[in-house]
Structure 1
Amino acid sequence: MCEANLPLTGETVVFTGSNEPQEAVGYAEKLGAQTRYLPLIETSVRQSQLPDFERYDWLIFTSGNSADAFCQLRIKTDAKIAAVGEKTASVLEQHGYTVSFMPSIYSADVFIQEFPAVAGNADCLFIKGSLAKNTIASMPLKVDEWIIYETSFKIENAEKLKALKGVTVIFASPSAVAAYREAGGDWSRIRVAAIGHVTEAAIQKEGGAVDFIPKKYTYIEVINEIAKGSFNK
């Protein structure tokens, strides 16, 4: 396919997560897009006392950041592991952990519907970031929470993003949405892509509309949605 026929030729796609998704960036560029990386949040591992992991039957992870922070600690555990999302599972598996459960849709909302039937009366530990919602703890199970990393906004990047127009911005978390809005970001100047219906709801709550959202909540699939939308313009 020649460059003129690539579906994202002339488009600029901006990635905003705390870690640059190299595979998705390369894929977008292969489809003809210009890409920029402006992380709107950053994370740092919290220095805190470790839980007694022997108490728990299941460890629950809902983000690649929490999985990565956990793996940095090189913790040995016999607990089963539940993960929301392919990226989260991949981080854990790359460090030798086995993921025993993933929800059919990569969302905490779906996780809490499906996981109780698998967990039974198990004791669970939700390993999370400081801005994570209490969705997981709302399950009718014994769920303790451990904050493993702190999340903060990168307002300087949100200011840079606010100055752009005519680009497509991928938001992968409500925290990134909050950072953009705290900087005064205007929805009317950009096209908006969301990974996950929770992120979509956060955008809508802040007065925005989502132009692209994939059925499968991954970066590759959101690029495919953007490409389809650009091709059909």
Structure 2
Amino acid sequence: MSKSKKLLEGKTIVFTGSRKPVEAISHAQSFGAKTNYLPLVETIVRQSEKPDFTEYDWLIFTSRTSAEVFCTLNETVTAKIAAVGDQTAAVLEKHGHQVDFIPKVFSADHFIQEFPPISGVAKCLFIKGQMAKNTISSMSMQVDEWTVYDTVLNSDNAKTVTQLKDVVVLFASPSAVSAYRQAGGDWSTIQIAAIGHVTKKAIIANGGTVDFTPKKYTYIEVINEIAKGSLST
């Protein structure tokens, strides 16, 4: 896709995730878009007693934040590691951990379909945030959980986003969707981009219509979808 056409000139894209996606913001700007970063959720690390990692065959991570918290421990583990998403895996690999499994589709519900044939009968530790659903723990194998961070809604930023019109608002989690709706957000005044089918379902369940969603669940790909002006279904 040629960026010389400035396909997003005249558009404003609002990023709302807990982490500022610097590369994706630059990518959007290279297409001519104006950008704004207004996180609707924030993460707070818990100070909790760490488990005995030697008891587990696999450690499972479904978010970049959980991987980052784990890596601050500087643990050397013998367990294999499973990660949902390239960015989650990249954090772990940057800190010297080998990632043994990544699902083809970056979501927990696809993970639980692809992972059991790889792991066999195994004892797993799911390292997670407090708002993670029970999808991973629903697997038939033993899955213990260790919650390492909390997610809180940023109501001030949510109110700011609800006042915006004629912009593309990018939602990357159901939590961000909740923050927007709780602040009184009106779907009809914005275009809506979603990363992941779980986020897309949350938007639809709250009365919205998703205009842009990428087949690969990354910020870069959703910017490409917006630039193409097409909806992947």
| TM-score normalised by structure 2 residue count | 0.96
Deviation at 1:2, TM superposition (A): 8.5
Cα deviation code 1:185-207 (max 9, x no counterpart): 11111110111000100111111
Give the aligned residue type for 1:58. Answer: W
* 1:99 and 2:99 are equivalent in the alignment: yes
How far apart are the structure 2 equivalents of 1:107 and 1:99? 16
Partner secondary structure for residue 217 of structure 1 = coil
Give the aligned residue type for 1:193. Answer: A
Give the aligned residue type for 2:172. Answer: A
Matches within 5 A, 1:129-148: 129-148=129-148
Match of 1:34 in 2: 34
Match of 1:193 in 2: 193
How far apart are the structure 2 equivalents of 1:171 and 1:2? 24
Match of 1:84 in 2: 84
Partner secondary structure for residue 229 of structure 2 = helix
Q: How well do the aligned residues superpose, as a CA RMSD in angstroms?
A: 1.2
Cα deviation code 1:23-50 (max 9, x no counterpart): 1010000110000000011111101110
Deviation at 1:91, TM superposition (A): 1.1
Deviation at 1:140, TM superposition (A): 1.1
Match of 2:55 in 1: 55
- Please identify runs of 4+ aligned residues in structure 1 that moved more than 2 A: none
Deviation at 1:141, TM superposition (A): 1.1
| TM-score normalised by structure 1 residue count | 0.96
The answer (yes or no) to whether the contact 2:172–2:196 under 8 Å persists in 1 is yes
The answer (yes or no) to whether the contact 2:3–2:31 under 8 Å persists in 1 is no
Percent identical residues: 62
The number of residues matched between the two structures is: 229
Matches within 5 A, 1:168-187: 168-187=168-187
Cα deviation code 1:60-79 (max 9, x no counterpart): 01111111111122222111
Give the aligned residue type for 1:73. Answer: L
How far apart are the structure 2 equivalents of 1:40 and 1:153? 6
How far apart are the structure 1 equivalents of 2:42 and 2:70? 16
Partner secondary structure for residue 100 of structure 1 = coil
Partner secondary structure for residue 144 of structure 1 = strand
Match of 1:163 in 2: 163
5+ long unaligned stretches in structure 1: none
5+ long unaligned stretches in structure 2: none
